[in-house]
Amino acid sequence: MVALAGFSPLSDFYSIRLTTREAGELVGTSHARVTQLERGGDSLNLMTVSRTASRLGYRTKLVFEPENGDGPSVTAPLPGA
């Protein structure tokens, strides 16, 4: 499992002002799980991020970029739900 520290795929819910219950229904999980993710109480795996993004109408990509800026970047699409 790959943890995505500091990333909240649920940040769009703040701009459209959904409750955690509404957000959970939209992405197919419980409001308790939404709350847990908002608080950073659990790590997200890439499939969870991809599935959530897909349900919000976004595509996901995994991008590898060299830390020193030398060399090519590698981008791979992630499957949605």
Q: Which regions of the chain are under pLDDT 70?
A: 1-16, 41-42, 81
Q: What's the confidence (pLDDT) of residue 36?
A: 81
User: Looking at residue 20, what is its pLDDT?
Assistant: 82
Scan for tokens 């599935």, then name that residue: 51
pLDDT of residue 11: 56
Domain layout of the chain by residue ranges: 12-78
The CA radius of gyration of the chain, in Å to the nearest whole number, is 14
Q: Which CATH architecture has domain 12-78?
A: Orthogonal Bundle (1.10)
- Looking at residue 1, its pLDDT comes to 31
Give the pLDDT score at 19. Answer: 81
**Cα dihedral across residues 50, 55, 56, 57: positive or negative:** positive
